[in-house]
Chain A
Amino acid sequence: MAKRIDISGLTAYYGSHKAIEDISMTVEPRSVTAFIGPSGCGKSTFLRTLNRMHEVTPGGRVEGKVLLDDENLYGAQVDPVAVRRTVGMVFQRPNPFPTMSIFDNVAAGLRLNGSFKKSQLPDIVEKSLRGANLWNEVKDRLHKPGSGLSGGQQQRLCIARAIAVEPQVLLMDEPCSALDPISTLAIEDLIGQLKERFTIVIVTHNMQQAARVSDRTAFFNLSAVGQPGRLIEIDETERIFANPSVQATEDYISGRFG
């Protein structure tokens, strides 16, 4: 479980547009790393390079290395499908499969791989739903459509779906931005529990959230609109918020841009 990620010299493009440039950092296992920064600084793009979802976008292309423990995700023989199975992802808007039941949603990833016994399936689904703090709310309606749940429940369903395949890393792209404060709190609690088992990377617009949930925080910025985003600094969350080493970080955190 829970591998470490070493990124070195990573640059990502959309066609000819350079979205992020030359990013190097290390993400520690069994911890929460938060990405913060202004809109358009490329933090979501960067997150999507970590499970090769970036290249799904037309024109998306990546240079550089992402080492998961010691294996380069962008190695010549690496299968992106295997990467995405190992590095799970939760999206900004909850996106359960609308035509599937709650049970089938959680089981969807497992069924793809087929490396389990049929009889184990209910156990794994239950474990995953418990892992996502959703079991008690849905155990009586597992075979109802997932789209009938509230937004916060849907997002936890998506987390259950992602952790059911036992990934090494869990990427979260602003998982709470579409949710109300109570659901947000539930997800944040959940993140605190999940980091015992997974390496978690979370992109957030909400600095309080970054401060609450993360162990380390990375600040991204761009020098001007249209310029590629860059990593400004990464450090222990407490230090970033209390005493960042770069002026731009302090300006951003205290609400002063420029």
Chain B
Amino acid sequence: MASTTPVDAPPPPSPPTQPLDAKSGSTGRAGDKIFLGLSRGSGILLLVIMASIAAFLAYRASVAISQDEGNFLTTFDWNPAGNPPVFGIAVLLFGTIVSSLIAMVIAVPVAVGIALFISHYAPRRLAAPIAYVVDLLAAVPSIIYGIWGALFLVPYLEGLNLWLDEFFGWTYLFEKTEIGVARSLFTVGILLAIMILPIVTSVSREVFLQVPKINEEAALALGATRWEVIRMAVLPFGRSGVISASMLGLGRALGETMAVATVLSPSFVISLHLLNPGGGTFAQNIAAKFDEANELGRDALIASGLVLFILTLLVNGAARLIIARRKEYSGANA
């Protein structure tokens, strides 16, 4: 990243703030100053936007939380229009995390499989088109995933749900105690898994393709099968990349709005019976409650949005740090 940035060309490798040299005519000098000012200003503007997102959300959130008569963290209800106004994020936090975790559990292994398929298994001529098809999955707008999920996937999952209930009901998680269509956190998790598949796949694939050829050949020359080459040389090399890819996917899943809002039939309960309809996520709750929200209602939704913002910030920041560390490490070894 920063290390590969082209260095200012001519002799004085001066700090970036200084323009070329005294010689380069006065118009050039002024132009350079203006241009540098503009471009640095844009960079600063970007930081300002980030900071003001946090500041504005925090301000509105503090307005809302100060009027909340319930406990913002533990209340199982969302009724800012009531008297007294009571709302809390417990159900939303639970639903957001559980649905994202389901998505991760499904998507990460499959994505690693697809990444390996593209990097090590697919016939060479097929690898590029397949990678392209997987990237297309990422281009589909989330609302279309949403209506596909609600109008097509939900009826299709009905049978699978009954089946899971029958054979895995003893695990508690897959016990279906309520009648109703499959508008459950589990279905949401499956849909989110499909949606984050492309990002996890493409980042993992990049890492797997970077595995030094000489390490793979070393394993082959010892008499390793293809799977053993992957276990000895590819997976250890790619582990941190896969972790950060998964966290990027997690970040996406946490904040997904439309797909969840269309599929889930929301309710303010916390249940680990994943197949039961109900539950809620931050983003879905905002989409569902926004239309009829009064002023406090909007601020309350903004407060929940702030929590979501912090959550995704942490997850994405961690993912980026892992990637950056890895780059330094492999750079030092190259």
Chain A interfacial positions (CB closer than 8 Å to B):
51, 53, 56, 58, 81-86, 88-89, 91, 93, 95-100, 108-109, 112-113, 147, 158, 161-162, 165
Chain B interface mostly: helix
The residue that A95 contacts in the complex, of B124, B214, B236, with Cβ under 8 A, is: B214
Cβ contact within 8 Å between A147 and B333: yes
Which residue of chain B lies nearest to A104 when distances are taken between CB atoms in the complex? B232
Which residue of chain B lies nearest to A90 when distances are taken between CB atoms in the complex? B221
The residue in A58, A99, A147 that gathers the most chain B C-beta atoms within 10 A of its C-beta is A99
What are 19 of the A-B contact pairs (CB < 8 Å)? A51-B221, A58-B124, A84-B224, A88-B222, A95-B217, A97-B232, A97-B233, A98-B237, A100-B236, A108-B222, A109-B222, A109-B223, A112-B222, A112-B223, A112-B224, A158-B218, A161-B222, A162-B221, A162-B222
Chain B interfacial positions (CB closer than 8 Å to A):
124, 212, 214-215, 217-225, 228, 232-233, 236-237, 333
Bound-state Cα–Cα, A98 to B235, Å: 12
Whole-angstrom distance from the CB of A179 to the nearest CB of chain B? 15
Cβ contact within 8 Å between A82 and B222: no
Whole-angstrom distance from the CB of A229 to the nearest CB of chain B? 21
The residue in B218, B220, B232 that gathers the most chain A C-beta atoms within 10 A of its C-beta is B218
Cβ contact within 8 Å between B220 and A95: no
Whole-angstrom distance from the CB of A95 to the nearest CB of chain B? 4
Bound-state Cα–Cα, A82 to B232, Å: 17
Whole-angstrom distance from the CB of A102 to the nearest CB of chain B? 14
Which residue of chain A lies nearest to B124 when distances are taken between CB atoms in the complex? A58
The residue in B222, B228, B232, B236 that gathers the most chain A C-beta atoms within 10 A of its C-beta is B222
Bound-state Cα–Cα, A45 to B237, Å: 27
Cβ contact within 8 Å between B215 and A95: yes
Bound-state Cα–Cα, A86 to B221, Å: 10
Cβ contact within 8 Å between B215 and A98: yes
The residue that B223 contacts in the complex, of A56, A84, A95, A158, with Cβ under 8 A, is: A84
Residues of A within 8 A of B233 (CB): 97
Whole-angstrom distance from the CB of A151 to the nearest CB of chain B? 13
Cβ contact within 8 Å between B217 and A81: no
Residues of A within 8 A of B212 (CB): 95
Cβ contact within 8 Å between B223 and A93: no
The residue in A91, A112, A165 that gathers the most chain B C-beta atoms within 10 A of its C-beta is A112
Residues of B within 8 A of A81 (CB): 223-225
